[in-house]
Each structure stands twice: as structure tokens, then as C-alpha cells.
Amino acid sequence: METSSSRSTSAHSSATPVPSQPTLDGALISPVALFLIGCGAFGGLLFAVTYLIEGATRPSYDAIQYPISALSLGPGGWIQQVNFVVFGALALVSAVGWRMALTPGVGRVWYPLLKAIIGIGLIIDGFFSQDPVAGYPVGAVVGAPTTHAVIHTLAAFVTITAIAVSCFVLARRFAVEPSWRGWVIYTILTGLLTIALIAAFGAANNHAGAPAGLLERLATGVNTVLSLAIFARLLLDQRRIAHQ
């Protein structure tokens, strides 16, 4: 016979929210969220393709030596400025998608927040260009850092830091998702590579002729590859579930 105490306990249990369960699965992600996540993934690809084309076709520009941001200088510099802003806007959009996809569960706050920080940082870099570097643009005088260059550098530092940290946050989420645990090591390695490569870029950037530009491209590129791979996995999950 059920006592009033047991009935009270039962009623309390039914009113208590069920603990958050892993939900990062194609079947549980809405088409809208998936589209927004895809905007961020392909935003990184568009960003890379644009700066690669610009770097290969810009007169007097050495993509191996000069940083990506130097493309914002000189004739045609507006293209790279727009490239920063567009990528930043798409990163902001993807933050909304990731918030939808990761709720409830680990990383539902921090990962979208980091994506938003990345987006804001990129947009700031688009509006505040760096100063000329030795040799580019041709004839430019290298002097004391200007205010807009300092803002650009700070925004770039925050952005790349957020990119690296976001990898570790996402890896933590993957660790509690049974079907995503195989991605944990890859995601952590991407974050570590981002830190190592950008540190190498910083050191090489102070030496004429060093491959600073190549190191920076690798630092940003590893995360773009990871984002595209994750998005591809999400799409495959959607297709698999739809055919079950």
C-alpha cells in the first residue's frame, strides 16, 4: 500500500528535471541549427580560399613570408578586409547553431560563447588593419605601431586564443558522447597545434625571410579542416538516421 510519504516522493521525482543527457547526434539537431553550423564551417573555407588566391596573385606579396593580415594593405586591400568581416559574421551565426545543437549538455554555453568571440575578433580585424611590414606594401615605411594596428593585434590574439580553447571545450563534449569519443584526440591535437603554430608564427614574424606567413596559415587551417570534418560527420548522421 502506497503511503503519503511515498506518494510525495514520487510526485517530487516526477517534477524534478531529468539530468542532461548527451544529445550531439544528427537526429537531434534541427535543420536550422545544422545550416547555421555549416555557415561557420564553410566560412572558414571561404576565408582560406580568398586569402590563398589573394596571396598568390597580389604583386610583391610573399604568402610564405608575410602574414594574412598584410593583405589588408595596399591596392586591393579591401578584399581581405571584407574577408575578415564575412568570416566573422558567419562565425557569429554558427554560434547560434552550436547553442541549439549542444543544448542540453557540456559546452552548451562556453563553445557558442567562444564562437561569438571569434566572430567579433575577426570583424574587428576587418575594420582595423595592421601596419605595413618590411617589404610590403612596396615602399611603405615601417615605424612605431599605430593605434589601429594595436587594436588589430589584440583582436587577432583574442581570436586565435578563442579558436584554440574552443577545441578543448568541444573535446570535453565529445568525451561524454558515446558516438563521438573517437574525435576527442583529434580535437585536442587541433587545439594544441593551433597554439604551437601561432607561437612559431609569432617568433618567425620578427625575422626577415622566415616562413611566418606559412605558419600562420597552418595555425588557422587546422581548425578549418576540423570544422569541415565535424560538419560532414553531422550531415552523414542526418542521412543515416533519415534512412533508418
Examine residue 220 and state whether it is found in any structural domain, yes or no. yes
- Residue 48: give the domain boundaries: 27-239
Examine residue 12 and state whether it is found in any structural domain, yes or no. no
Using DSSP's 3-state secondary structure scheme, residue 6 falls into helix
Examine residue 13 and state whether it is found in any structural domain, yes or no. no
Examine residue 182 and state whether it is found in any structural domain, yes or no. yes
Examine residue 156 and state whether it is found in any structural domain, yes or no. yes
Q: Which amino acid would we find at residue 197?
A: L
Using DSSP's 3-state secondary structure scheme, residue 23 falls into coil
Contacts made by residues 70-78, CB under 8 angstroms, sequence distance 24+: 70/130, 70/132, 70/133, 70/136, 72/126, 72/129, 72/130, 73/129, 73/130, 73/132, 73/136, 73/137, 73/140, 74/136, 74/137, 74/138, 74/140, 75/137, 77/129
User: pLDDT tens, 148-158?
Assistant: 999 999 999 99
Q: 49 is written with which cell numbers? A: 580560399
User: Lowest-confidence range among 28-32, 108-112, 171-175, 224-228?
Assistant: 28-32
Number of domains in the chain: 1
User: pLDDT tens, 70-120?
Assistant: 999 998 999 999 999 999 999 999 999 999 999 888 999 999 999 999 999
Which range in 1-15, 130-144, 147-161 is most confidently predicted, on average pLDDT? 147-161
The residues with which 136 forms a beta bridge, in sequence order, are 133
Examine residue 183 and state whether it is found in any structural domain, yes or no. yes
| Helix%, strand%, coil% for the chain, nearest 5 | 75, 0, 25
Examine residue 3 and state whether it is found in any structural domain, yes or no. no
User: CA-CA distance, 34 to 14, in Å (whole number)?
Assistant: 32
Answer whether 0.85 is exceeded by the pTM: yes
User: CA-CA distance, 164 to 186, in Å (whole number)?
Assistant: 13
Examine residue 35 and state whether it is found in any structural domain, yes or no. yes
